[in-house]
Structure formats: structure tokens, C-alpha cells
Structure 1
């Protein structure tokens, strides 16, 4: 490691913060697509050409057609735990985009409600992959000091997608033909194609690379993201050691099953799933999916209902900007507590105003919906996507996040399916249900949710009492003399992470049979980044071997048994 720092030069056009922010913004296209699809149908179901073509579908048919996307998303999000761990975060994004393209094409050419519903189901499969893996990707490339900001920027991308679809529906409503609904559906194909092609330029997350023993590529990506391509920079070296040591020590646990996840990290998984559940039960998709119907119920008719929805969406986008700064200043917990109150009161007020049914009702409903949406955009919008990948350790991050995202989709489906039916049957009383959920979520956050701002992902166990296996040698509060030995780790000493005994490790530890394989005799880290010679040899081999789109899709570019890949850098 005594080689001059200028011997190695990154091949990337962007490095450091430029690469970090570009990557974060680009992967946000995955959640932009999610938001676009949320708002898309809300404008189309009030389009008279759409209604005539599909023979004036009933409330139940509309609910099923809208909500079937959530069924597809639910199924695929349950698979993300395995897919994301097996093929990587980057290629999971790629496959999600490709599936979304197929679903969008199917919807655009649909001839009946069944074909349209089938297309939405296929799109849902793609959205389920994207909505689960993009937050994981985001959290794994973000530094702790602005991880919350980057996640909130990602959510802003989601709401920009929602707003874009509303305004596209409004503009296309002036087309006096069936293009007024087919064009918006066709735009999905364009957006999915951009994400699919752009995924070939993304970096894989360093945490996935090191967890899969792609150490040479891992240090190169870490250097590109955090130290402007300088592999010798102390920040790159420290980050590599911190991630790799947590990977190696977590292997002492041996298991990565769902049963083990619930046994060891039950509280974290429950918090992750509860955050997504309440995000839906608190009522957002009553507005996102059916805002024009909400405004029609209040007295706005036809195109005016879509216009009101579009104006509301602009304020919704603006409301997602304050969390960029507040989430890392105030913290996650405080935003959720204030948000639950600020959402519950407008929902109660909407029910009361609709009950009164006075001349001012249409205007008051618009104002209250805007207030509600703004409160959600500042709190329960972005944070349930930040919490799960943030609080879950690397060993079960993909699986845990897939379950939290599945929780989002199953309650998303429930809201999407029941809203038009409840609007038709109990009308104003429907808004009492999400209002009650808001106040219930207030209590749950107060009792269960810890504050996690500023913590390294590898140090997140300090916010919990679940005896995480991660013992960080890079943390400022640990020193060499504090480093436990195998005996103290397995003896259950208070404050020490619990480890399985060596005899219980078996083959799952991938060569790590004892804590002594991770630390030196004086308590320092055994883990060392690849040398410059190893990196240069890797790059030479990469240039010699080349790559192709087909090898990216198939994963055939991996070298089995070497622990490294030829061309995962993409």
C-alpha cells in the first residue's frame, strides 16, 4: 500500500459526490415509475373515452383493475429478498424495468378490461421489484451524514412521477379520441426503457460486492463513491474495512433464513413492516388513486376534477422538499410523530365537511386534501422507504426490505380495492377509517420506533437491544483493548454481541470459523483492502475479457470459485 496514489486512476467519468448524486437521482427513476403508475389511472377512470371503450366499468371493476397492480407488486416484492441477494441490486433494477416495459406495452394495446388488468398485473411485477430494491440500493451507497436526504430525494422523484401522470392525463383529456388514454399508458414503455438502458451504467453497491467476496471491485466502487477514485484515501480504506468486517462477523451466525431473521431481529422487521402498513392505512392512496373521484364527490366535475388533482399534486411535490433537510437535522422519529397528527386532523375535517354538504364543501375539500397531502409528503411519504433498509443488517437487509415492501403492497391493494366501494356505500364516513389509523400510528411510533439519524449502517445495532452480530472495530467507542475474544462473544457478556460456537458454524461461514479470522492478536482488524497490484491485474483482466449485454443479463460473466467478477462494474 506504499504505491503512489496517482498510479491508479478510475475509469469513470463521474466520481465522488458527482457519482453519488447522479446515481441516486437516476435510480430514483425506479420510484418515479412507481409514482407515475399510482397517479396514471386516477385521471383515466374519469375520461369519457376510456369509460365508453371499456363499457362504463362498475366501481368493483375499477377497484379490481386499479388494485391488481398491487397483487403483482406484492408477489414480486416477496421474491426480492432472494433475487437481490443472488444477482445483486443493480441487475434486480434492470429486470424490474424490463418487466415494467412488457406490462406497459400490454396496457397500451389492451382491447378490453381483462387485457388492461393483465397488463397492470405484469407492470406490478416490475414495480414490486423496483420499489423493494431501489431503497436498498440507495441506503447501501449513501454515507450516514446524508443518507436520509438522499432517500427523501428519492421519494420526491416518486411524487414527481405521480404529478407528471396527473398532468399528462389532463393534457391528453383534450384529445378527442382514444389517444387520450392510450398515449398516457404508452409513456410507461418509454420511461421503463430509459431505466433499463441506464442500468448498465450503474455501479453495484459496495456492500453487496463485499458480501459476495468481490473485494477488488468493492474497493474500486468505494473509492469512486467516497474518495474521488483514490483507493488509498483513508476514507476509502476505512469504509472497506468497516463493511468487510461486518460481513465476516455476520457469517459467524451461519444462517440467513426468514426464521432466523424473525428470531434475531424481530423488532427491526416489525418496525419495517409497520411503517409501510401505516403509510397505506393512513389514507394516501385514497387520494393518489382516486383523487378525481374524491373531488367529483365534493362537487368538481369531469376535467375540473383532474385539474384540481393536478394542482394538488404540485403542492404535494413541494411538500417533499423540506424533509431533504429536516430528516437529518430533526431526525426520523419526530417527523413521523408530527406527520401523523398533521394528517389525522384534515382527514377528520374532510369527513365533517362532506357530512355538512354546504356550498363551500367543494373548496374546503380541496384545501383539506392539499393540507393532508403536504403533511404526508413531509413525513409518512419518504420515511417508511428509508427506515427498513436503514435499520436492517446486511445479512437480512434484502429479505427484510422485501417483507416491508410486501406489507406496503398488500395494504396498498386493500385501499385500492375498497376505496371506490366505500365511497359509494358509506361516503363521508370512509375518511374516519384512515383518520383513526393516523392516530394509532402516532402511538406505535412513540412506543416502538428508535431514532437512527447519523448512524452508520454497520453501527445500527446501537439503536436496538436485539444482540446484533455486528461488532464494529472502526467505531470511535471501541478500542483494541475493548475487543472481545471468542470466549466473551459466546459467553453472553452484557453488551457483547452473541455468537454461535465454532462447532455450530459449519459451511455457512464461508471460511470464517472464529473471531480470530477477523481480528489480529492485538485486537485490530485482520481485514485489509486489495493491494494496488491486485486492482491493476483485475482491471487488465477486465479490459482483456470485455463484456456484453447478454452476459450482463445472464450473469455468465462471473468467474466461479475466484470470488471476483470480470465485469460487474458495468
Structure 2
């Protein structure tokens, strides 16, 4: 990277702008909706796999696989995601946010095609790993890109809209599984898998049209391009708009300060200076998993709707679909509230409701009375809604907010890797724990909800990304 700072474009020099019909908020919202396809994809994958693995044609094709084989096919994607989420910090700094998004979409599309046309267990696992590589890149870079193009006053709302797309992906795949359950052939599982490749291809092609992150452009000494993107996003295409100039100058000044500090951009340098921020970013993603969402997401259909409430087969998919709609609806209120109430209030209120729902789930399973099946299902629906309102969206928003520009990609890569690592651990351990400790599993995750309530996350609502040093009491870097 060029260590020098390019000269600010003079007011008399025209800034090259992108050819675009959209400017201002229409452009911002269009880009936000489009890149949310990236999080839609890994929500879709989670839902589609939980549905097809119990289908008769899927099980017959793979020779009626046992629990270890099924668990491998599901969880191996998270291993791939863990690998590339760690690498995405470096990739995102080198090729940019848009380039990383494109690479992730292409890889995910290829992985989906391998799964769709699989000839056996081995190729299915390979396809899942390849898709996981794409998911790791997408799940890291989409929140970074979103935070870097969003204005401070509704950055939270846009991030929450992004999370809603993730749950819409999950819900749509469940309903597609339900529709395809009426197909009497291998298309019942190959068709849902093929759809994700089509969506991935749309994302890859669309990446050509969206702008690069203005902060990455300025950080790589492409100031004119960065100013042009800021003007299109926040100034109606006018590079002389006062708000555009103020944001541009603030970003450039932050870049200048970071370069004059003489620090390199290694992970060790990030850990040395920003240890607290890195730990907060990682813990937010860890608690998002430890709070119990994947105990519900991976095993809701089998454990709650089939074994507890007695819904079997297609009826179980239908009830899972109804639950997923409630889950989607729960993610909408934060669009309005997150930039009003703040991050902390929503996280704390969500933790209280989630802990209560999980404790109640464990109690109803312990007493095991006739009302238990329906009571457990109600508790799980309440839990899902509370998670969708709070600990679902905010752990994806918080890490890119609190990390400085020079370490943002690397810091978010560690937090996202934490998500996939704990996702894998919880997913793999849950069947064993359900057998060994039974109803106690749910109060255990309720305890983690209580821990997440106690942990203090500094409030970041309305704070520009370049001013996060003040939130953490670090002040401005010396010039």
C-alpha cells in the first residue's frame, strides 16, 4: 500500500463520478438490499439443509446415512466458513470489499452446484466445504461493507435490515422444503439446493455494478474515487455538499493519523493496541451462539415439533415454517428502535426474555405434564422472537462499528471466525447433551443469556466510525 496521502481534490477540479441512475438514499437502500443477498444465502443454507436431510429421497440416495454422516454433511460447511473468515481480513484489505464479495459469491455458487449434482457422500461433503469457503468470505465482508457505506444516524437500522434478509433466507428455504416435499423424486432435495446457486450467481454478477467502499478507496490513496462514492451515497451526487466534504475530510484525517502512527497492519499489532475491542467483537459473536439459537435452529423440527408436540413429517416442516415467519417478523422492530434505544438496551432486554424462555423450557420438560408439548413450543417461539429482535442482528453490526479502519477487516474476520467456531461446537455437542443432561440443556443456555446481560458493551449509537476512539476513552491518535 502506498504510504503517502494523496492531495485532496481541489474544489475547482471535477471529481469523476460513477454513471448511476440512483444517488442519495435510493442508491444507499438499493445497495444495502442487494448486498444482503450475501447474508440471505447462509440463512437459506441453514434452513434448506435442516429440511432435506430428513426427506425420504435424500436419505435413500445416500444409503440411509447415520447420525455421524448427517452431522458431517451439515457441520462441515462451518469448518470451511471458519477457514475463510480468518483469511478474509487479509483478502478484504488487498482486493477490497467489493472484490471479496464477488469472490465469495462465485465460490458459494460453485459449491452449490457441486451439492446439486452430487453423486455421493464424498462429493456432497466436498461441495459443502466449498460453499463454506464462500460463506466465510460473505459473512465477514457484508457487515464491513454495510457499516462503511452507512451514515451514522441510521447505520444500525440498515444493519438490522440486513439481518432480516438472513432470516428471510432461512424462512424461504423452509417453505421451499415444504413445497418440494410433495415431489416424488430426487428433485425434492436437488431443487432447493440448486436455487442457492442461482441466487449466488445473481450476487456475483451484481457485484460488478455496485461501488467500492469509500473508506477502503481513501485508505488505498484513491481519494477521488472515494469522494465520488461518498457524494453519490450522501450528497445526491454533489461532491461539494457540506456533509460530503465533512465526511470525506474526517475519513482522510483518520487515515493520515493511522499512517503517521507507524503501526503495521498485522494481527499482532491489532491485538496489542485494540485488545479490548477485539475481545468485545469476538464475545458478541460467541454469546450469539452460546445463548442457544442453534440448539433451536438445528433441532427445532426434530426435537420440538416432532418429539415434543407430535407433529410428524410434512406437518413438522409446516410448523417450522410458521415459526420462521414469526422469527422474520421479530427482526423488523429493531429497524426503528436500534438507532433510538441504542445497542445496549436492545441486547439487555433480549437477553432477559431469552433467559426466561429457556429456563421455562427446561422447567416444562422437567415436570413433563400433558401441557408440556405445547408449552415448550410456545417458549421456543418466544425465544426465537427475542433473539431475532436483539442478539441476532447486533453481533453482526457491532464488530465493524468498533474496529478502526486499518484493522476493521482483520478484527471482523476474528469475530466472524468466532461465530462459526461456536456455531460448530454448539451444533455438534447439542445431540450428545440432549441425551446426557436432557432438560438441563436449556437452563444451561439460559445461564449464558444471563452472562451476556451482565457483560458491558459500550454504546455506539450515532457515533461516526472515525470517532470510536472517544467511545473507548482513547481519544485521538497523536499526529
- TM-score norm. by structure 2 comes to 0.94
Q: Does 1:375 align with 2:386?
A: yes
- 2:350 alignment counterpart: 339
Q: Kindly indicate which of the two structures has a greater share of residues assigned to helix.
A: 2
Q: Does 1:200 align with 2:208?
A: yes
Do the aligned partners of 2:16 and 2:224 also contact (CA within 8 Å) in 1? no
Q: Does 1:452 align with 2:463?
A: no
Q: Does 1:247 align with 2:255?
A: yes
Do the aligned partners of 2:16 and 2:225 also contact (CA within 8 Å) in 1? no
Do the aligned partners of 1:84 and 1:133 also contact (CA within 8 Å) in 2? yes
Aligned positions of 1:198-347 closer than 5 A = 198-254=206-262, 255-294=264-303, 295-298=305-308, 299-347=310-358
- 1:443 alignment counterpart: 454
For the structure 1 residues 250 and 155, does the alpha-carbon distance in structure 2 shift closer, same or farther, using more than 3 Å as the test?
same
For the structure 1 residues 129 and 8, does the alpha-carbon distance in structure 2 shift closer, same or farther, using more than 3 Å as the test?
closer
For the structure 1 residues 2 and 215, does the alpha-carbon distance in structure 2 shift closer, same or farther, using more than 3 Å as the test?
closer
Provide structure 1 residue ranges, at least 5 long, that are not aligned to the other structure. 472-496, 500-514, 516-570
Of 191-200 and 286-295, more deviation after overlay is shown by 286-295
1:290, 1:61 → 2: CA distance? 16
Q: Does 1:356 align with 2:367?
A: yes
For the structure 1 residues 8 and 399, does the alpha-carbon distance in structure 2 shift closer, same or farther, using more than 3 Å as the test?
closer
For the structure 1 residues 46 and 117, does the alpha-carbon distance in structure 2 shift closer, same or farther, using more than 3 Å as the test?
same
- 1:567 alignment counterpart: none
2:261, 2:72 → 1: CA distance? 44
For the structure 1 residues 10 and 128, does the alpha-carbon distance in structure 2 shift closer, same or farther, using more than 3 Å as the test?
closer
Aligned positions of 1:32-111 closer than 5 A = 32-111=40-119
Aligned positions of 1:463-482 closer than 5 A = 463-465=471-473, 467=474, 471=476
- 1:160 alignment counterpart: 168
What is the Cα-based RMSD across aligned positions, in Å? 1.6
For the structure 1 residues 109 and 123, does the alpha-carbon distance in structure 2 shift closer, same or farther, using more than 3 Å as the test?
same
- 2:33 alignment counterpart: 25
- 2:4 alignment counterpart: none
Q: Does 1:145 align with 2:153?
A: yes
Provide structure 2 residue ranges, at least 5 long, that are not aligned to the other structure. 1-9
1:10 Cα deviation from its structure 2 partner = 5.4
Task: Say how many residue pairs are matched.
Answer: 467
- TM-score norm. by structure 1 comes to 0.80
Query: Between Structure 1 and Structure 2, whose CA radius of gyration is higher?
Result: 1
Do the aligned partners of 2:351 and 2:452 also contact (CA within 8 Å) in 1? yes
Q: Deviations over 1:265-321 (max 9, x none)?
A: 111000000000000111111222222112222122211111111000000000000
Of 245-254 and 83-92, more deviation after overlay is shown by 245-254
1:156, 1:419 → 2: CA distance? 26
Q: Which runs of 4 or more aligned residues in structure 1 lie more than 4 Å from their structure 2 counterparts after TM superposition?
A: 1-5, 7-10
1:36, 1:330 → 2: CA distance? 30
